[in-house]
Structure 1
Amino acid sequence: MLNSSMKAETRFSDELPSLLAFCLVSLIFFYILKSIKKRSPVPPLPPGPTAYPIVGSLPEMLWKKPAFRWIHNVMKQLNTEIACIKLGRVHVITVTSPELSIEFLRKHDGVFASRPDVSSARLTSDGYLTPAMSFSGDQWKKMRRVMVSEVLTNDVFGRLHSKRCDEADHLVRFVYNQCMNPHISGVMNVRDATQHYCGNVIRKMVFSERFYGSGMEDGGPGIEEREHVDGLFTILSCLYGFAIADYVPWLEVFDLDGNKKMIMNAIKNVRKYQDQEIEKRVEMWKLGLKTDENDILGILMNLKNAQNEPFLSIREIKALILEMMLAVVDNPSNAVEWTMAEMINQPHILAKACEELDRVVGKNRLVQESDLSELNYVKACLKESFRLHPVTPFNLPHVPSKNIVVGGYFIPKGSHVMLSRPGLGRNPRIWDEPLRFKPERHIVDEVSNVLFVDHNLRILSFSIGRRGCPALELGSTTTTMLLARLIQGFSWKQPLDTNNIDLVESKHSLALAEPLIARAAPRLESQIYLQLLQK
């Protein structure tokens, strides 16, 4: 018995390692099966072109310039409303779907609240000091708070009302002088007028000055203002402009596409005028000669922290003012130029807008800001331009702070997510006759007010979310006042040698290929213009 028991114990001892190994293997196998069941498959990236190793699709981007047209063609060929294009090591995600756009900018707003590090933004913002281009963080919060709580308040907007009125009057005076000039008989460059009106408005609001120099005798911009505005538009054309170094940073030093040199020269030309005005004001205030807040520069310089010290450095003020100039000049001028071109080609639309102005305002006075809320058809015409003829191909890029799934697609951390303005506004799934200029589509009924912001993102005129444009009221007012004054004060037709305005986009941007040249004639009683000439 004892011998038998010892044999059994020996057998058990011999089998114990095998049993333990079996149990261990079974346990591991169980956990592997469990983890496989729990682990969902990794969603795919959005569809996109096949990319080369390391460089991605950079060769195609460089070969098929401009990049924004190539990207839109890729999306069309793939029949997709979201695409992923690998440029260097960066995943560029482009979107033309309103539903997906809302997911990015509303549902996951906090994740997509940052910006990429690219040389054009770094140079323009002087090292990411400004709210629109800085990364998500303390500096962005500080500057955003300054804009929202100190500069773009209803109180400040009201206090600067007279400055905007001065520029609206000056616009009418300038166009009237062109009409009375026997050498041109009212044939004028509308782009020139709209861009410089926007420049005049923001200069007056910031510096209390229309011109850096003396201007022209007829009220037009002088050499200084032309260089200033041209510089602003050059900066805008380079900003987030698909430069090679944006995707292969170590190539920035070589500046292979010239983007860095171009934007640096433009910033220098713009800031030599602005910074001079700021430094002049600093010296005046040091001498105690000026301490009021009758313009935006005064407001910024008077801000104090808890220790009663300046809240903003002079460097921050200079960078912020440059960003404000950029924000005001492009969208209103582009929308009004396109609207005027469409109206001249479709006289019944122009007539309907003028009829609304005559009914709301009359012909005995000029339209004022207080009238704008009642000009629904005029605003519908502008909204249609924001839809059909947006100012830029994409909004400023949003960068996710972590890996995330949106719309069933994997969006890697650090991607550049860009919503397509023409892709949204011309989306045939959303819009009936998307390429036709039809303002009536924006008028729901006789009571509802036409708003430029579309919270459903079928149009991207002013963005939404944490990175949405805080200057909505200023932008809307500037745009509507510009168009209302032009079409109330003057009749517009094609030049005598043309039958139609050629509505062709520029190859390199979404602007008209050629500046709008049109023939203006006074539309109101002569005393209205004479009163302006006497001011």
Structure 2
Amino acid sequence: MFSTISLALLFIVLIFFLIHMTKFKFSTIHKNGRSVLQLPPGPAPWPIIGCVPEMLSQKPTFRWIHRLMKEMDTDIACIRLGNVHVIPVTCPNIAREFLKKHDATFSSRPTSMATRTCGGGFLTTILSPYGDQWMKMRRVLVSEIISPARHHWLKDKRTEEADNLVKYIYNQSKSSSRIVNVRTATRQYTGNVIRKLMFSKRYFGEERADGGPTIAEEEHIEAIFTILKYVYAFCISDYFPWLARLDLDGHEKLVKEAIRTVNNYHDPIIDARIGKRRRFGNSNEESASDDPHDLLDVLVTLKDSEGKPLLTPEEIKAQVTEIMFATVDNPSNEVEWAMAEMINQPEILKTATEELDRVVGKERLVEECDIPHLNYIKACIREAFRLHPIVPFNPPHMAMSDAIVAGYFIPKGSHVLLSRLGLGRNPKVWNKPLEFRPERHFTSGFTEVHLTEPDLRFISFSTGRRGCVAPKLGTTMTVMLLARMVQGFDWKAPPNVTSIILDESPENVSLAHPLVAYAELRLPLHLYP
């Protein structure tokens, strides 16, 4: 009965919405009868529910928001959803104000059904609100997981997966069609890397002779991308928590199923490792002195000041999952888009290939030590980050107190959304922003191209307290993925296809259809693993 009444109320709201003409206005905060400060411009909200009817009727929500901002000709807006002020931003100067000048104020995250589920009840770093737990887990990541020494320690595992990538594409290219599903190759490479770093294994079960994924690995990666899709997806219960039980969007069911799938693969490995490591750690057996073999060993063997385990099993499991989905997304998405753009512009692909031949040659495979010298390859990746981000918005920053940014009043509790789309495609910042032009990232007097973008003209690893803590790992994985693919193979559109269709998915900003391309060997046979 509760469900029926709620649905009826929502239906009535939608009927009213159909006769409501959206009007844009500047909201003004009043104090003692006098105008004090203005909110950023935005659509006139309905009483109590705000602009939720518009959000529900104009899917996907991110396109509606960007359309509003374009119609209003503004780089910052305020859209009230329930009692929450949602503040999208498309200007680098304003973005820097939020994440640099006011970083401390906007260093928290809003809570939601999806973040609570994915973060094990807010036990992790990326998804957790500001507080002691977030600071504890961030210290663990920075000092123990992604330190320079740890990065160097894991180099051989990353190289194994770069070799396996070449092996897999080589075997695909030997088929009669020579057609390679690039999305499968890129996503499985990133999944393989983080599984190897975390668990010292590529496969959950029997491995395939051709280096490709089994059903288990495909299911694992699919579940991770489902989590990424819904973790900040404008779910109605995020703005009206009392509706959470109804799951009106259907998000809760999908998120919980995806987390269950991931946990079914992770938990047996983690439980066994905790049992083994902590049992040996409390005994005098020889294995007690064994060094960690992977990142899971590191998390399990961490001790507090009293010599007790620093992390609970629940913290370890939640953080492992978060590391997984924070690692696989950007490298696979950016390289798939970059390859699609480069195949459509053979002169760009030729320039990238010539750089690899000049820097590395054709008598060995590209290695991580070559990355500083692969400036054109990195420029192609930067351009993919700019033009084709993995998601429309960065994870939201929540205001922990009232603030004034860009001359506007930002109330406590506001959700600030830096638009990856709006920043990277802002015509006030970028000349011909919808064209893929890697050369735009070369500046006079440059010595080396980096994937980081501290000025927030686009977002790769963000910045501030909530910026990505592992830009070195992200850079290494992304550059090695693209460099190995370009060095090892000549790529073309499939036969009878004039060019790759570069449409975005109707639901998100990924390539609408997985990239498939024709691959031919271009190196001596003995170099292919």
TM-score when normalising by structure 1: 0.90
Q: How does 1:319-398 map to 2 (within 5 A)?
A: 319-398=318-397
Question: How big is the shift at 1:42?
Answer: 1.7
| Offset, 1:39 | 11
- Shift of the alpha carbon at 1:287? 4.8
After superposition, the Cα gap between the structure-2 partners of 1:353 and 1:446, relative to the gap in structure 1 and judged at 3 Å, is farther
SS in structure 2 of the partner of residue 519 of structure 1 = strand
In the aligned structure 1, how far is the partner of 2:459 from the partner of 2:31? Answer: 42
Q: Distance in 1 between matches of 2:499 and 2:445?
A: 32
Quick one: distance in 2 between partners of 1:446 and 1:294?
Answer: 43
Work out the CA distance in 1 between the residues paired with 2:401 and 2:382: 35
What amino acid maps onto 1:388 in structure 2? L
Q: Identify which of 70, 73, 77 aligns with 1:76.
A: 70
Question: What SS is found at the alignment partner of 1:242?
Answer: coil
Counterpart for residue 519 of structure 1 = 518
Report the equivalent of 2:223: 231
1:261 positional shift: 0.7
Corresponding residue to 1:204 among 172, 196, 201: 196
Match of residue 243, structure 1, among 218, 235, 260: 235
**CA displacement at 1:50 relative to structure 2:** 1.1
- 1:394–1:420 CA contact under 8 A, matched in 2: yes
What residue identity is the alignment partner of 1:334? N
Q: Which residue matches 2:55?
A: 61
What's the % identity of the aligned pairs?
52
> Is the 8 Å Cα contact of residues 278 and 301 (structure 2) preserved in structure 1?
no
The amino acid of 2:211's aligned partner reads: G
Corresponding residue SS for 1:456: coil
- Kept in 2, the 8 Å contact 1:42–1:410? The answer is no
Structure 1's 287 and 128: CA in aligned 2 closer, same or farther, altered over 3 A? closer
2:277, 2:300 within 8 Å by CA — same for their partners in 1?
A: no
Could you report, residue by residue, the CA deviation over 1:65-120 in whole angstroms, capped at 9, with x for unpaired residues?
Answer: 00001100011111110010011111100000100000000000000010101111
CA displacement at 1:215 relative to structure 2: 3.2
Cα distance per residue 1:381-409 (max 9 Å; x no partner): 00000000011000010011111111111
* Deviations, residues 227-252 of structure 1 (Å, cap 9, x unaligned): 10000000000001100001111000
Aligned ranges 1:86-485 → 2 under 5 Å: 86-182=80-176, 185-288=177-280, 291-445=290-444, 447-485=446-484
Secondary structure of residue in 2 paired with 1:60: helix
- Deviation string for 1:262-313 (max 9, x for gaps)? 1000000011101111112123225535743121001111110111000011
Q: For residues 437-481 of structure 1, give each alpha carbon's deviation from its aligned partner in whole angstroms, at most 9, with x where no partner exists.
A: 000000114642111111111011111000010010000100000
Distance in 1, Cα, partners of 2:189 & 2:392:
24
Q: What is the one-letter code of the residue matched to 1:356?
A: E
Partner of 1:8: none
Would you say the 8 A contact 2:277–2:301 is kept in 1? no
* Partner SS, residue 383 of structure 1: helix
CA distance in structure 2 between the aligned counterparts of 1:133 and 1:165, rounded to whole angstroms: 30
The one-letter code matched in structure 1 to 2:165 is L
Greater displacement, 393-402 / 286-295? 286-295
AA partner of residue 323 (structure 1): E
Cα RMSD after superposing both structures: 1.5
What is the rounded CA distance, in whole Å, between the counterparts of 1:494 and 1:199 in structure 2? 26
Change (3 A) 1:464 1:286: closer
* 1:508 paired residue number: 507
Distance 2:205 2:97 in 1: 48
Question: Could you report, residue by residue, the CA deviation over 1:187-232 in whole angstroms, capped at 9, with x for unpaired residues?
Answer: 0110010000000000000000001011333211001101100000
- Specify the SS of the correspondent of 2:78: strand
* Equivalent position amino acid for 2:253 in 1: K
Paired residue secondary structure (1:213)? coil
Deviations 1:118-142 (A, max 9, x none): 1110110011000111111110110
How many Å separate the matches in 2 of 1:433 and 1:313?
Answer: 51
Aligned length: 493
Counterpart-to-counterpart distance in 1, 2:421 and 2:239: 24
Asked if the contact 1:215/1:223 (under 8 Å) is kept, the reply is no
Listed one character per residue, the Cα deviations across residues 345-369 of structure 1 (whole Å, up to 9, x for unaligned) are 0000000000000000000000000
Task: Give structure 1 stretches of 5+ with no counterpart.
Answer: 1-35
Q: Quick one: which amino acid aligns to residue 505 of structure 1? A: E
The amino acid across from 2:402 in the alignment is N
Partners of 1:39 and 1:369 in 2: CA distance: 63
Amino acid at match of 1:50: A
Aligned to 1:339, the other structure's residue is in SS state helix
Query: Structure 2: 5+ residue runs without aligned partners?
Result: 1-29, 281-286
**Whole-angstrom CA distance in 1 between matches of 2:299 and 2:93:** 39
* Shift in Å, 1:40: 8.6
| Secondary structure in 1 matching 2:41 | coil
